[in-house]
Amino acid sequence: MQRIIAGIVAAVLAANGFAMLFAGGWWYGVVPGVPETGPFNPHFVKDIGAAYLICGAALAWRAARGASTAALGAVTAAAAFLVVHALIHVVDEVSGSNALGEFARDFPGVFLPALVAVWIALPVRKSA
């Protein structure tokens, strides 16, 4: 099950990364909440897009190679980025006036991928 979900999340994260790298202006305008973060900075959007593309590649590796040590290491690094990114959102949202609304808006694109990546990074326990 982890491999299947890893493949799905890999595709979503990689697509997001590609959009950020190659259609950053469009991505900036269509993702809810992003325009409220400040003016569009193409270099910054591409930097983050690169991180998302690498996270997608790590999850794809986990999907393809299973629980190999290298695949788990790669997906652990991807999960670490996604969790730190989510924590940045938590800090920003707690300091805002609409924390619950912002959390709800960010849950599917920020918090859920981080939670799923952490789960995917866990080694699979074999039943006795």
Take residue 2 and report the two structure tokens written for it.
């982890």
Distance between CA atoms of residues 61 and 108, nearest Å = 22
What band does 128 get if pLDDT is binned at 50, 70 and 90?
Answer: low
Distance between CA atoms of residues 8 and 85, nearest Å = 20
pLDDT in the model for residue 1? 87
pLDDT over 90 at 29, yes or no? yes
89 close to 50: Cβ distance less than 8 angstroms? no
pLDDT in the model for residue 127? 61
Distance between CA atoms of residues 94 and 101, nearest Å = 11
One-letter amino acid for residue 1 of the chain? M
pTM over 0.85: yes
% the chain with pLDDT above 90: 80
pLDDT in the model for residue 126? 66
Average pLDDT for residues 4-27, to the nearest whole number? 97
Is the Cα dihedral 72, 74, 77, 82 positive or negative?
negative
Distance between CA atoms of residues 128 and 64, nearest Å = 25
Kindly report, residue by residue over 69-127, the tens digit of the pLDDT. Answer: 898 999 999 999 999 999 999 999 999 888 899 999 999 999 999 999 999 998 766 66
Work out the mean pLDDT of the chain and round it to a whole number.
93
